[in-house]
Structure 1
């Protein structure tokens, strides 16, 4: 009987220690702690009251049918963004107009002469401004670069557009001039008016 009481105390202590631990992957759904049902048993005046701890069944103890009935949350994964490659979900007319350079550019951002960190900050601000103003097509000029470390901004731009706060805004990216890769045109998702 003393071993059983000790095990129950250890289990309670373990639950207290584990309850504040943060998961390594916060985007995964958090598992809820198993509900604990405490039911007192009949007591006699000379014996202390015993408590029985009953926990919810784990996934391995659930039936196959019960596991299938649980909802599964799936988030659509956005395809990696590549310059000059048509994204799924983009209609033919918009793609042709963008790739030919026929779409009207709503705003232009010139990143010539900036260091990489400043260019990154300006791009993030520009993209959020484009979203708030519901612009359809924007142009970002990075320049070709010169010197030993030429074109750092040009090389980093696709990675910046792939960020989780920017990627949902972008439909497609193309070079407006096939001979000059120092600028890109970005087709953005817009809110319906």
Structure 2
């Protein structure tokens, strides 16, 4: 009973209501064919609401601590003390095959809820070799793989032929 007579206040920022769209009838002087065809409804202009910026994960770099990673996990990972759940060796693969193997491996890691995995790429032996090692950070930066990765480090400072990847786990 108390709120029955209350009317809401109009805010100066509130969008103005548009008049309802009414279909116009063609004039009687038009031929019957033109009068029978329905006219397309007129669309009223409604200003679009600005979209919220989509937050993307931070750029992935090997050996750089990711935001949101606690001190203990970062220290254990960067010092090579974290237990590795699985290893993938990409020695001897063509770049495309190596990417496919990595992608399948990462999907399997997500399904099995692994925490830390190691990917061995090798150093390469010539000037044009080592492509897999150079491409790996870019592969992990892809949207479908980046959403799984928390951090990437070399397990040993002197060995840049392998990386350990700390993965996000599902809450139970």
TM-score range relative to shorter protein: 0.7 to 0.9
The structure 2 residue matched to 1:88, chosen from 64, 67, 70, is 67
**SS state of the match for residue 40, structure 1?**
coil
Q: C-alpha distance in 2, partners of 1:92/1:114?
A: 36
Deviation at 1:164, TM superposition (A): 1.1
Give the TM-score normalised by the residue count of structure 1: 0.69
**SS state of the match for residue 109, structure 2?**
helix
Number of equivalent positions: 147
Give the TM-score normalised by the residue count of structure 2: 0.77
* Larger RCO (CA within 8 A; separation ≥ 6): 2
Gaps of 5+ in 1: 1-34, 60-66
Q: Superposed, which structure 2 residues align to 1:34-183 within 5 Å?
A: 37-40=22-25, 47-48=29-30, 54-57=42-45, 59=47, 70=49, 72-183=51-162
1:102-126 CA distance string (max 9 Å, x none): 1100000001111111111100000
Which residue of 2 is the match for residue 11 of structure 1?
none
Structure 1 pair 91–38 and aligned structure 2 pair: CA distance change class (3 A): same
